[in-house]
Amino acid sequence: MVKQPVAIFDIDGTFFRWQLFHELVFQLKDMGCFDKQTTAKLEDTFLNWRALKASWAEYENQVVATIEDAITSIDPKQVEEAAQKIIDKSGHKVYAYTAQLAQQLKKEGYFLLAITGSQQEVAELFAKKHGFDDCIGLIHERENEHYTGKYARFVVNNKLSLAQDYITEHNLTLKDSYGIGDSSSDIDILSLVTHPIAFNPSKELLNEAQLRKWPIIIERKNIMYRLEMSQNGYQLAETRIL
């Protein structure tokens, strides 16, 4: 039996034009799931980041802390409701290059696997909307229809092992495989596949891409720029209107 090749996509900042878990936390805020003090701190940190008074790391850490600290008091049905609202209002906000690449690979017979640090409730809906065959996202442990505060699956820093286990369990192949991501958390996945793509890379991923001579894709407005490594460093290999 011929094994199906896999294409592994990061979602946040790679396929989706923002962060699904940020959207989820702010939607829960709008639904009144956090106390006033927590809500004010979240909003202030966001505004400070937008005003360059706080770093991205400070803002992101606050987003994560907000849901981690409150998760046991949130009804899972509220998370599911928030996730659906996000897909309804923002599920279309994707990068053209990665959306087109996914469609192309799907037609060529690839198994499309999304892997993300965002919560499974919202990531799975997003992945299904865009034709992915499956999605690996963060899972908060549930017991008697309540969150326990523990993780049933934690994705950040575990993408490689999760992907490898999934590929083995589902009888997929890494031959001619694709991987695309935008940050340091995607380096292990890009190292695993035949065709790695660094998409709008962070500083850490850019440095790794340079060392490994991975192609870089930049999407700006409606134009794609493809950079390929040469003897003299990266050179523009292709531009395309998306």
The answer to the question of residue 141 being in a domain is yes
- The whole-number pLDDT of residue 232 equals 86
Predicted confidence (pLDDT) per residue in 5-22, tens digit: 999 999 999 999 999 999
Q: What angle do CA 55, 26, 15 make, to 5 degrees?
A: 75
- CA–CA distance, 179 with 188 (Å, rounded to integer): 10
| 109 SS3 class | coil
Q: Per the structure block, which two tokens stand in for 183?
A: 């940050």
The answer to the question of residue 122 being in a domain is yes
The residue segments making up the domain with residue 97 are 4-17+92-241
Residue 138 φ/ψ region, left for φ over 0, alpha for ψ in the -120 to 50 degree band, beta for the rest: beta
- The whole-number pLDDT of residue 35 equals 95
Residues 6+ apart with CB under 8 A from 70: 33, 34, 38
The answer to the question of residue 126 being in a domain is yes
What is the number of structural domains in the chain? Answer: 1
For 51-72, what is the mean pLDDT?
96
76-90 and 120-129 helices, crossing angle to 10°:
30
- The whole-number pLDDT of residue 130 equals 98
**Length of the chain (residues):** 242
Residues 6+ apart with CB under 8 A from 186: 10, 14, 159, 179, 180, 205
**Does 1 have pLDDT greater than 80?**
no
For 146-162, what is the mean pLDDT?
96
Predicted confidence (pLDDT) per residue in 31-43, tens digit: 999 999 999 999 9
For 159-185, what is the mean pLDDT?
97
- The whole-number pLDDT of residue 41 equals 96
The answer to the question of residue 78 being in a domain is no
* Sign of torsion over alpha carbons 44, 45, 49, 55: positive
Predicted confidence (pLDDT) per residue in 94-115, tens digit: 999 999 999 999 999 999 999 9
- The whole-number pLDDT of residue 53 equals 96
The answer to the question of residue 135 being in a domain is yes
For 123-132, what is the mean pLDDT?
98
Q: Per the structure block, which two tokens stand in for 64?
A: 């994560």
Residues 6+ apart with CB under 8 A from 104: none
- The whole-number pLDDT of residue 88 equals 98
**Does 133 have pLDDT greater than 80?**
yes
Please report, as a single letter, which amino acid is at residue 122.
V
Cα dihedral 100/19/189/202 (nearest 10): 100
Contact 181, 95 (CB under 8 A): no
Please report, as a single letter, which amino acid is at residue 46.
F
**Does 3 have pLDDT greater than 80?**
yes
**Does 116 have pLDDT greater than 90?**
yes
The answer to the question of residue 41 being in a domain is no
For 134-155, what is the mean pLDDT?
97
**Does 231 have pLDDT greater than 90?**
no
- CA–CA distance, 86 with 184 (Å, rounded to integer): 26
Give 2's pLDDT tier (boundaries 50, 70, 90): confident
The answer to the question of residue 26 being in a domain is no
User: Looking at 144-215, which runs of residues are DSSP E strands?
Assistant: 146-153, 172-181, 195-199
CATH number where 189 lies: 3.40.50.1000
| 54 SS3 class | coil
The answer to the question of residue 223 being in a domain is yes
